[in-house]
Amino acid sequence: PPEAKSSKAANGYSSGLQCKSFRMDQEKWGMNWFAMEPFVSQDGLVEDYGESLENRTHMVVKPKRGGWKSTKSADAWRTMLIADLEKELKEEKRRFSIIQGNRAQHAQLIRYAIAEDLPSMISVVHQRARLINTRGRLSEEDDQFISFGFTVLQKILEHSLKDEQRVNSPEMLSTFFSFANLFDYMIFYGNDMRISSILLYNTFDRWSQVRAPDESSDEIDEILAKFERRLKKLSEEPWQTLAACMEIRDALAFPGKIEDFVSHLAVHQDGSCNGLQHYAALGRDEEGGREVNLLESEYPNDVYSSVALRVEQKRIEDEKGGPNMEIALRLRRSMPQPVPRKVIKQTVMTTVYGVTLYGAALQIKRQLKALDIDNEETAKFAQYLTHKTFASLHDAFTCSMKLKDWFRDCAKGVSDLLQTMEWVTPLGLPVVQPYVLAKEKKGKVIHVPVSTKQ
């Protein structure tokens, strides 16, 4: 509070009122108080408090906690202080109510444990877990409750597993699934964003700017964005590139034999367009199989890059002349670079799963927009590239595409007979594709197979 200004009282004494604040134990009371003590004037005289505070010109400053404003009125100050006290009292009652509820749940858990009532135990732990999840924080009492609950559940489960008949019962299976669902609510580790933020700032020697993650997220995003922009100049997957560089650096700096270096870099495994791999294998497609790495080659092949290269070659041929010369030249003005791999990747990937020309055109259109090619002709460019992509796939995977077309013709023939596709696997499992539409014909409802789905 501001120092009180001296003023001449009616009796001639130099007097004033000084307001000092002190902070009480916030953990206990959760609020700030203000106390007023006498101001000793230069004359050594103590101000008499008999005079009404409303007549004073000195400001009583309210704490910021409730957004209080300065007021000259003692009554208003007292009213707001009482309101704050009432709020704290309600909070204290709420805390007391939570404690009572926790104790009741604890007693319930013990009773169910004695009775070995596993479903009821899991239900009680579920209730507490959901409550903790709603509150967003874990108190010491919550921690004790969950630890005790899991210990008892473990003991009862171990005892139950010895009884084979009980384990295979529907009740026990339901109990196991309920137990597994507990982990939807429980997170057994703390929020590492705080320490991660500190570590990030520490690398820039910016300790003075360390704040809570939600307050510093914009600044962290800015740092990461700048770093990612630099890495993207080197790779499409900048963070994986960085991780690999760091691991190789550590391996090269290893003091012993490099064979003894233990790498913790994740090994990513993926197929090379799995759908085309299956078609190439079924049709004994040697050329297509080599494109999807089913056959040995000096270097790993990338089917998406191969198809993109074929599409680019067809575009160059169209630019030299032919019915598509005009649109090919307009596309070149909008996209002067060779056809990027990612433009046709999704279409190549989904061709074997039955994507139509319309669906493929939408896929390529989205990729063109991502390259900032967004004008009135984007849809036409997408249709043009879709036709070239399908043609390139038939060139690269001749046998595979013939096999796919044969499957489609079979499905169409079955659909024309108003039947659904059905077959039995070598394991004896019957498979049915009941994609049908309900139609009314001559007063009867019939189910007509959807040919495109078959």
* CB 304, CB 271: distance < 8 Å: no
Q: What is the pLDDT of residue 193?
A: 60
SS (H, E, C) the chain: CCCCCCEECCCCCEECEEEEEECCCHHHHCCCEEEEEECECCCCCECCCCCCHHHCCCCECCCHHHCCCCECCHHHHHHHHHHHHHHHHHHHHHHHHHHHHHHHHHHHHHHHHHCCCHHHHHHHHHHHHHHHHHHCCCCHHHHHHHHHHHHHHHHHHHHHHCCHHHHCCHHHHHHHHHHHHHHHCCCCCCCCHHHHHHHHHHHCCCHHHCCCHHHHHHHHHHHHHHHHHHHHCCCCCHHHHHHHHHHHHHHHCCCCCHHHCCCCCCCCCCCCCHHHHHHHHHCCCHHHHHHCCCCCCCCCCCHHHHHHHHHHHHHHHHHHCCCCHHHHHHHHHHCCCCCCHHHHHHHHHHHCCCCCHHHHHHHHHHHHHHCCCCCCCHHHHHHHHHHHHHHHHHHHCHHHHHHHHHHHHHHHHHHHCCCCEEEECCCCCEEEECCEEEEEECCEEEEEECCCCC
- The pairs formed by 291-296 with CB atoms below 8 angstroms and a separation of 24 or more are 291/396, 291/397
Highest mean pLDDT among 41-50, 81-90, 262-271, 298-307: 298-307
Between 431 and 65, the more confident residue is: 431
Nearest to 7 by CA among 70, 56, 74: 56
Whether 451 shows a pLDDT value over 70: the answer reads no
Q: State the pLDDT at residue 362.
A: 94
Q: pTM of whole model > 0.95?
A: no
The rounded radius of gyration (Å) of the Cα atoms in the chain is 38
Residue 169 CB: number of other CB atoms within 10 A? 13
**pLDDT of residue 378 exceeding 50:** yes
Convert the pLDDT of each residue in 219-253 to its tens digit.
Answer: 667 777 777 777 777 777 778 888 888 888 888 88
Most confident of 4-18, 44-58, 187-201, 338-352: 338-352
Residue 442 has pLDDT above 90, yes or no: no
Contact 66, 80 (CB under 8 A): yes
How do 14-15 and 7-8 pair as beta strands? antiparallel
Residue linked to tokens 């800015």: 222
